[in-house]
Structure 1
């Protein structure tokens, strides 16, 4: 799989970007803030239908523009697919696949599979649980549109239930019909939250279990003298959602666990006005030996753990028979020489490799490919020029 063409219009700093690509390394070189990462962000958006940097699409649309365009031609096993997304700062985006409008956006999941390595990956180890949940949900994308739909539906129900809880306390204090209405409505939302949350939980546990051996192997290769590393999904409702082998219970079994937890937490939820039960409160345990990486791993160990997570993501895609597009966003500058060389060696056989760097000197000696120079105009618009092939030393 590789991206044969990428077109951007009014996407962040790019007024126009239209570049033919090939199944080879492509290196975007330019100073920080000139728009290199924006190019990779667009491809990430095509993969996951969201940005990896911001939660709102409004930031993706250039100042003064009504919308942004991300268009690509993806080649996979000799077959080409044209995918185009019109990103709007508010309201629904417009997606076309092969020139045909797509009503259910999740239908385009899987058209492009990509994995991005970025300096922000350190937050997977040192950041908050939300960072790790987002990473796991990126893995779930590989399970297909059904898994993505379950998460989207869960998020919708979670928002609506949270809105009810914000007003539930006052209604319960009034008593009477108001209290009865709140209880009745919460019963309905609890059922939906548990049913969808069970699917989300099962999907997450399955992908984490599948990634676990790849992660352990990758970390051992990066840091052979360190303690063994492991990952495991941690549900906020406890270990009752898995069997004795660590596999998820059947979905209806997880649903019952969540329903029980919701019933037990109802009083606290009404008092606090927030949802306290569900996969939106889960985490990914990343361990070195018996210790959690967060709080115990050194800076170098944290980087090795973060790299191992991304390498495991690549191996999961390969296990599905897909060679993902690999994107390295200025990551070499963050790594020491040993980790730089290991990453360069691992990605050398990628079908398509996209790299950003502030200066060519940030790249390991063996990294070569087509070089695109990214500049910034006085109007703060990004431009690109082709410097052809980087010369061999």
Structure 2
């Protein structure tokens, strides 16, 4: 799989940009603040419907513009598809495939797959559980795009259930009789059903990812492992979605009084965590800066290997990563990713990019992207 052409309109700093791309390595070089990352961010957005830099769409639209358009021609084998997303902050985004009638944005998931390495990846190791949940869910959706709908359903049910619990908690604090909780059992069922399917996919992913992450870490930092991935939650043992749903219902029942008191849902995939280990110790709080970087990179390499093993090699994106690494880790990472079908690299200093990643070079400056 690779992108043959990227087109932007009013995306970030670009009023317009047309960038032809070939298989192999392409490097975007230029001073910081000139728009290198904006290009690969757009590619990542088409693959995940999200940015690795910001949590909302508003910053992605060029100042003064009402909307932004990201479009890419994607080739997989002999098949080509044109995928387009129109970003409309404050309103629903729009999507098209092959210039046909509109489809839902989530229907484009799976047309393009990416694995992105970025300085922000350090939060996978050092950050809050939400960062690791996002990592899992994006990879789950890359493996099975229909899970985007399950995630959306879970978020919708969670919001409704929290609203009901919050009303009950506020009423109690103010001496009222409390909200009508007669529908709470119904919301429990909905939450357990959607949550169990998401949870089953996460648990399956963790089992598949752990040996690949351990292998990748050994390649990046020989002798530094082993790497362990431990899913943490009230329902963390593998089982069928039906059994997991029953476990979630039981766990919800155990904390119901606390939830009504606090006004928030205390059990479910939205509260779980992925504990990363080096040896017997959790990486968070114990791993050095270099070890944390190697572990974050190992998770991304493992993601790439997993997707590739399932028959759909993703586009690799390395966004300003080499500046963060020492010479040894630069060389090892470059050797591991160089064989990829398509590798997109950004760098402020061309010399930071190891020679093994030879390929096309674009100079990025002042909103212009010029092939050198």
TM-score, normalized by the shorter chain, greater than 0.5 = yes
User: What is the alpha-carbon root mean square deviation over aligned residues?
Assistant: 1.3
Deviation readout 1:196-244 (Å, 9 max, x if unpaired)? 1111101111111111111111111111121311112222x1xx441xx
Q: Quote the Cα distance in structure 2 between the aligned partners of 1:329 and 1:2.
A: 17
Which residue is 1:339 aligned to? 329
Which residue is 2:48 aligned to? 48
Partner of 1:188, secondary structure, is helix
- Residues 114 and 325, structure 1, Cα contact 8 Å, conserved in 2: yes
Which residue is 1:87 aligned to? 87
**Off by >4 Å, runs of 4+ in structure 1:** none
Which residue is 1:107 aligned to? 107
- Residues 75 and 81, structure 1, Cα contact 8 Å, conserved in 2: yes
Q: How does 1:12-91 map to 2 (within 5 A)?
A: 12-91=12-91
Give the deviation of 1:106 after TM superposition.
2.2
Which residue is 1:208 aligned to? 206
- In the alignment, structure 2 segments of 5+ residues that lack a partner are none
- Residues 241 and 253, structure 1, Cα contact 8 Å, conserved in 2: no
- Of residues 173, 176, 191, the one that matches 1:174 is 176
Partner of 2:255, secondary structure, is helix
Q: How does 1:247-326 map to 2 (within 5 A)?
A: 248-326=238-316
Which residue is 2:163 aligned to? 163
Which residue is 1:198 aligned to? 196
Give the deviation of 1:325 after TM superposition.
0.6
Report the number of matched residues.
Answer: 370
Which residue is 1:390 aligned to? none
Deviation readout 1:75-134 (Å, 9 max, x if unpaired)? 001110000000011111010011123433322111001111001111111111111111
Give the deviation of 1:12 after TM superposition.
0.8
- Residues 7 and 18, structure 2, Cα contact 8 Å, conserved in 1: yes
- Residues 147 and 198, structure 2, Cα contact 8 Å, conserved in 1: yes
Which residue is 1:386 aligned to? 371
Q: Quote the Cα distance in structure 1 between the aligned partners of 2:142 and 2:211.
A: 17
- Residues 375 and 383, structure 1, Cα contact 8 Å, conserved in 2: yes
Give the deviation of 1:383 after TM superposition.
1.7
Give the deviation of 1:33 after TM superposition.
1.3
- Residues 209 and 232, structure 1, Cα contact 8 Å, conserved in 2: no
Q: Quote the Cα distance in structure 2 between the aligned partners of 1:203 and 1:24.
A: 32
Give the deviation of 1:143 after TM superposition.
2.7
Q: Quote the Cα distance in structure 1 between the aligned partners of 2:146 and 2:3.
A: 24
Partner of 1:326, secondary structure, is strand
- Residues 94 and 101, structure 1, Cα contact 8 Å, conserved in 2: no
- In the alignment, structure 1 segments of 5+ residues that lack a partner are 243-247, 377-381, 388-393
Q: Quote the Cα distance in structure 2 between the aligned partners of 1:227 and 1:357.
A: 29
